[in-house]
Every structure is written in structure tokens, then in C-alpha cells.
């Protein structure tokens, strides 16, 4: 879902960059308030963790395999602001070292996966968790939020492609959303397994609001 260079026109990637810079600037300020100077090494190592976790292939139906995206996983563990920074850092490294996603479209990729995906996922996770309460609330909230964050990010991606005239919205939106609704199921299952495990082993690491 990383949009490469050339797929977006100026009227899509410039606004996306501006929103991302503003959003990440805000998150940086918020995260610094809570983490202080502990933040730098912690965020760095956590970004490397998300990166490594994304390299792990999970077997899916048939011979195919997929990997974790880790968006909501990081929200539950680090909180929404630190999480947005972690995913942004991962995207920057993927862009510059692995050429996964373009440079002009990096703003759009940050907007989709880091801001829309994370904040959407967090806004869904938090109410479910507090309504259901306890461990069950965390697991159910995480599963739904993980699924929704993938779908939301794909919606944002579709809208950006449509604004650029790469393909019309009524076509690209259903194609993207339906395919990511399936991807989201895998993401939801894996994320809830991981959180279930951490709840058992180190429940103190789950982010408290």
C-alpha cells in the first residue's frame, strides 16, 4: 500500500505532505511531554521492532503468506502519539533505504498509515476498551481497531489516488477497501494474539490512558 512516486499529482501530494508535517509535529510535541529524553532511544528501538516484525511472514490460506502491519499493535503498547512517530520513522526508512514508497508520496503514505490509520484505530480501540473493560475489552477493542485501521488507511489511499485522477473514486475505493477488508482480518487476528500474549507475560507494558 506504499504509494510510489508518480502515482499522485501535485494537488494530492503537496496537501498530504503539509497535513503530515503538521500532524507529526503535534505528535512529537505531545510524546516529548510524556516521555521526555527517554523518548529518543525508546522510539528508535521500537521503530526497529516494528520494522523487524513486518519482515516476519505469517502463513495464510493456501501457500500465500502475509505480514503484520503493526499499526494498532503499536498504539496499545506506546499510546497514539508515540505510535504515530514510530510508524512515520519506519516509513521514512522504508522509503530511503528500501525504496518502498516514493519520496514525493511519502507525505501521503505518512498521512494514510501513520495519522489516519493510527488515530482512527485509537479512537475505535479506546471506547470499546473502556465499555467492555478488563482484558476482554482490550482484546476485542484491539481486534476491531486493527481491522478498521487497515481499512481506513486504504480508504485514504483510494481518495488520494482518485484526487490525482489516477483512477475514478467509484472504482478505486471499492477495490482498495474490499481487498483491505480481507487483509484487515489477518491483521486483527495476529494483533490480538500478540496482545493476548503480552497481557499474560508483561501486562504492565500495555499503554495506560
Partner 1 sequence: MKHSFIDEYSDLDSLIHRLDPRVKLVTLVASLLFIISTRPTSFVTFVLYGILIFILIGLSKIPIGFIFKRSLVIIPFVLIIAIFIPFFKKGQVAGSYSFGSVHLTVTYEGLMVFWNVLVKAYLSILCMILLATSTKFSNLLKAFENMKCPKLMTMILSFMHRYIYVLVDEMMRMKRAKDSRTVGGKRWFHVKALSHMVGVLFIRAYERGERVYLAMCSRGFSGQIRTLQDFKLNKTDFCFLLTMAMLLIAIRTIRR
**Site for partner 1, rule CB under 8 A:** 1-7, 10, 24-25, 28, 32, 36-49, 51-53, 55-56, 58-59, 68, 73, 77, 85, 89-90, 92-93, 95-100, 102-104, 161, 165-168, 171-172, 175, 189-190, 193-195, 197-198, 201-202, 205
Determine the Cα–Cα distance for residues 135 and 34; give it in Å rounded to an integer: 25
For residue 147, CA distances in Å to 96, 107, 167 come to 28, 23, 25
Beta carbon of residue 128, minimum distance to partner 1 (angstroms, whole number): 20
Q: Which is nearer to partner 1, 152 or 160 (CB)?
A: 160
Beta carbon of residue 39, minimum distance to partner 1 (angstroms, whole number): 8
Strands 65-67 and 57-59: what pairing? antiparallel
Q: Which is nearer to partner 1, 127 or 203 (CB)?
A: 203
Q: Which is nearer to partner 1, 170 or 209 (CB)?
A: 170
What DSSP designation does 67 have?
E
Among 137, 114, 119, 117, which Cα is nearest to 127's? 137
Helical H segments across 36-168, by residue range: 39-54, 71-78, 80-98, 106-109, 117-132, 134-163
User: Residues 161, 91, 126, 198: is their CA dihedral positive or negative?
Assistant: positive
Q: Which is nearer to partner 1, 32 or 126 (CB)?
A: 32
Among 158, 160, 146, 177, which Cα is nearest to 69's? 146
Beta carbon of residue 164, minimum distance to partner 1 (angstroms, whole number): 9
Among 141, 121, 135, which Cα is nearest to 196's? 135
Beta carbon of residue 121, minimum distance to partner 1 (angstroms, whole number): 17
Q: Which is nearer to partner 1, 35 or 132 (CB)?
A: 35
Beta carbon of residue 185, minimum distance to partner 1 (angstroms, whole number): 12
Residue 31 · residue 118 · CB < 8 Å = no
Beta carbon of residue 20, minimum distance to partner 1 (angstroms, whole number): 12
Q: Which is nearer to partner 1, 152 or 161 (CB)?
A: 161
Kindly state the cell numbers that stand for 25: 509535529
Amino acid at each position: 500500500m506504499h504509494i510510489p512516486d508518480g502515482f499522485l499529482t501535485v494537488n494530492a501530494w503537496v496537501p498530504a505532505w503539509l497535513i503530515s508535517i503538521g500532524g507529526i509535529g503535534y505528535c512529537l510535541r505531545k510524546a516529548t511531554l510524556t516521555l521526555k529524553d527517554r523518548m529518543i532511544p525508546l522510539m528508535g528501538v521500537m521503530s526497529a521492532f516494528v520494522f523487524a516484525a513486518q519482515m516476519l511472514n505469517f502463513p495464510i490460506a493456501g501457500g500465500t503468506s502475509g505480514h503484520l502491519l503493526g499499526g494498532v499493535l503499536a498504539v496499545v503498547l506506546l499510546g497514539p502519539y508515540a505510535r504515530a512517530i514510530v510508524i512515520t520513522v519506519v516509513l521514512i526508512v522504508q522509503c530511503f533505504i528500501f525504496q518502498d514508497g516514493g519520496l514525493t508520496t511519502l507525505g501521503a503514505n505518512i498521512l494514510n498509515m501513520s495519522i489516519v490509520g493510527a488515530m482512527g484505530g485509537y479512537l475505535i480501540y479506546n471506547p470499546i476498551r473502556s465499555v467492555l473493560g478488563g482484558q476482554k475489552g482490550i482484546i476485542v477493542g484491539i481486534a476491531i481497531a486493527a481491522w478498521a485501521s487497515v481499512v481506513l488507511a486504504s480508504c485514504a489511499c483510494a481518495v488520494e489516488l482518485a484526487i490525482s485522477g489516477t483512477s475514478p473514486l467509484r472504482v478505486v475505493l471499492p477495490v482498495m477497501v474490499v481487498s483491505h477488508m480481507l487483509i484487515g482480518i489477518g491483521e486483527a487476528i495476529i494483533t490480538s494474539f500478540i496482545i493476548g500474549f503480552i497481557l499474560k507475560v508483561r501486562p504492565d507494558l500495555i499503554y495506560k490512558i
